[in-house]
Amino acid sequence: MASKTKSVFVCENCGCESPKWLGKCPSCGEWNTMQEEVRVTQPAAAAQKPAKPTAALRSYPLSQIKPDTELRYTTGMEELDRVLGGGIVKGSLVLLSGDPGIGKSTILLQVCRALGSAMDVLYVSGEESYHQIKLRADRLGVTAAGIRLLCETDVQAICDHILQQTPGLVIIDSIQTMNHTDLSSSPGSITQVRESTNLLMRTAKSLSIPIIIVGHVNKDGNIAGPKVLEHIVDAVLYFEGERNLSFRILRAVKNRYGSTNEIGVFEMTDCGLQEVKNPSEALIAGRPKNTPGTCVACVMEGSRPLLAEIQGLVTPTSYGNPRRMSNGFDYNRMAMLIAVLEKRGGYYFNSMDTYINIVGGMKLDEPALDLTIAMALVSSLKDYALRDDVLAFGEIGLAGEIRAVSHCEQRIKEAARLGFSKCIVPKHNLRSISKSMQQTIEIVGVRTIREAFEALVT
Ligand code: TYD
Ligand code: MG
């Protein structure tokens, strides 16, 4: 029987399939995302044979399987290694994603610098020319002898090249430029991205070569292409931060070989990305002294406490509707905190424009930040400066109560290390704090918003 071709329409956003073209995807509700894809179906010769049990399959008792020691390569950047769970695992497929211009190509070239002296690294670029990459490498001081460049977009040819050369690490920049010649759709389309990733994954697993692929994000901040891309790969790293600010945060969204809570902090300088070993110090540097509307928080990012400066600005509104704006913090949670401050704290914002900003372009969403946000707002509303050497954290409930947070002692320790002399913490957390810690730094347990404000100004 001859092979048949069939058209299906696939949603670019979520991968939903339909036999007909539709204006709106029935699965994700996005408009104008259905794209035609031609599929060739082979005659199902096997399906015509009578069903027979397959003899070749064998399953194994879990207890008899010997754990393979995970071989990891350290990238020479501690911050990146931590996010990866201790280094790049042999044979893994890692997706690095982020806004354009955030530094994806830069960090990968820096990975080449560290690993290129110990092994062969193949850097495949579908976006830049040999000349452009060379210029950037010179600027970053990347001269390792083991680095090979390949400017190519045909993913099958690239996989053949990998098979021949068997390098120690492969970098694909970016998956959206890769093209599978058997498929009719254009590069960057859902089918191309999925099939190219599948092919790369098979290559990575069969040869035990780690492959890092760069993925672009669309305008909503999601990884362009289908969600399936995230399912295929072993780890998804996400580079975030404001393009105009120098700090960049690397986060693991998925990691089959480590925790997804860890973050790495980098700073973009004129000679590439530099690791920020002491992010708390960098984030609170240059804090205005004796100024209303600023308060310092301590949030946990994975296993590491991080200090962040929260600024609030409350000004009389000139329009009917007061404006609320939040930068780096969830807008709805900010609205909820304002409601709690009004109803339970007696601080009124109804004719006031209210702005919140987390300094350094950080995006934080921990509940422990509630108290700090509330204090920054109250301080600005009252136009009364909080003490510079005091730090506050705690979750605020709808009844206006300050609720306990996790890792309290670790947060206080970080505050003490950076020279703070007083910590305002939820009262319920006091019990779990050791005596020795209480002797190092003054710790005040609070139950309500008013108590917290009083403790912050005295
Ligand atoms: P790039 O790695 O090309 O971003 P991506 O691959 O994520 O799109 O980073 C480009 C930006 O980084 C660009 O705006 C210039 C800046 N940059 C520096 O500031 N210093 C440097 O040493 C390098 C290489 C880039
Ligand atoms: Mg790039």
Q: How far is the CA of 243 from the centre of ligand 1 (A)?
A: 10
Work out the number of other CB atoms within 10 angstroms of the CB of residue 19.
9
Query: Would the CB of 287 count as within 6 Å of ligand 1?
Result: no
Which pLDDT score is estimated for 458?
80
Query: Would the CB of 243 count as within 6 Å of ligand 1?
Result: no
Residue labelled with tokens 């401050």: 341
340: closest CA among 361, 306, 371? Answer: 371
Secondary structure class of 265 (helix, strand, coil)? strand
Which pLDDT score is estimated for 184?
77
Q: Do the bridges between strand 93-98 and strand 88-89 make them parallel or antiparallel, or are there none, so unpaired?
A: unpaired
Work out the number of other CB atoms within 10 angstroms of the CB of residue 114.
17
Q: Is the CB of residue 424 less than 8 Å from the CB of residue 412?
A: no
Q: Is the CB of residue 78 less than 8 Å from the CB of residue 96?
A: no
Looking at 341-445, list the stretches that DSSP marks H as alpha helix, in order from N- to C-terminal side.
Answer: 370-382, 408-417, 435-440
Comparing 70-277 with 282-457, is the CATH topology the same? Answer: no
- The count of residues in the chain is 458
For the record, the structure tokens of 427 come out as 């009262």
The closest-lying atom of ligand 1 relative to the alpha carbon of residue 103 is 2
For the record, the structure tokens of 370 come out as 């509630």
Per-residue b or e along 150-160, where b marks 16 or more CB atoms closer than 10 Å to that residue's CB: bbebebeebbe
Q: Rounded to two decimals, what is the model's pTM?
A: 0.77
Exposed, middle or buried by CB within 10 Å (0-12, 13-18, 19+), for 204? buried
414: closest CA among 276, 285, 279, 312? Answer: 279
Which pLDDT score is estimated for 217?
79
The closest-lying atom of ligand 1 relative to the alpha carbon of residue 139 is 22
The closest-lying atom of ligand 1 relative to the alpha carbon of residue 140 is 22
> Residue 103's Cα: distance from chain center in Å?
13
| pLDDT, tens digit, 9 for 90 and up, residues 101-157 | 889 999 999 999 889 888 999 999 999 999 999 999 998 998 888 999 999 999 999
Show the low-confidence residues of the chain (pLDDT under 70): 1-3, 42-55, 68-70, 218-228, 243-244
CA-proximal residue: ligand 1, atom 5 (nearest): 101
For domain 70-277, give its CATH number from 3.40.50.300, 3.30.70.270, 3.30.2130.10, 3.30.300.30. 3.40.50.300
Domain spans of the chain?
Answer: 4-43, 70-277, 282-457
CATH for the stretch 282-457: 3.30.230.10
Secondary structure class of 95 (helix, strand, coil)? strand
Which pLDDT score is estimated for 214?
93
Which pLDDT score is estimated for 48?
55
Ligand 1 mutation pick, 110, 268, 271, max ligand atoms within 8 A of CB = 268
Q: Where are the beta strands (DSSP E) in 12-120?
A: 17-18, 34-41, 72-73, 88-89, 93-98
Q: Do the bridges between strand 272-275 and strand 263-269 make them parallel or antiparallel, or are there none, so unpaired?
A: antiparallel
Query: Would the CB of 419 count as within 6 Å of ligand 1?
Result: no
CA-proximal residue: ligand 1, atom 23 (nearest): 272
Which pLDDT score is estimated for 151?
94
Secondary structure class of 40 (helix, strand, coil)? strand
Query: Would the CB of 104 count as within 6 Å of ligand 1?
Result: yes
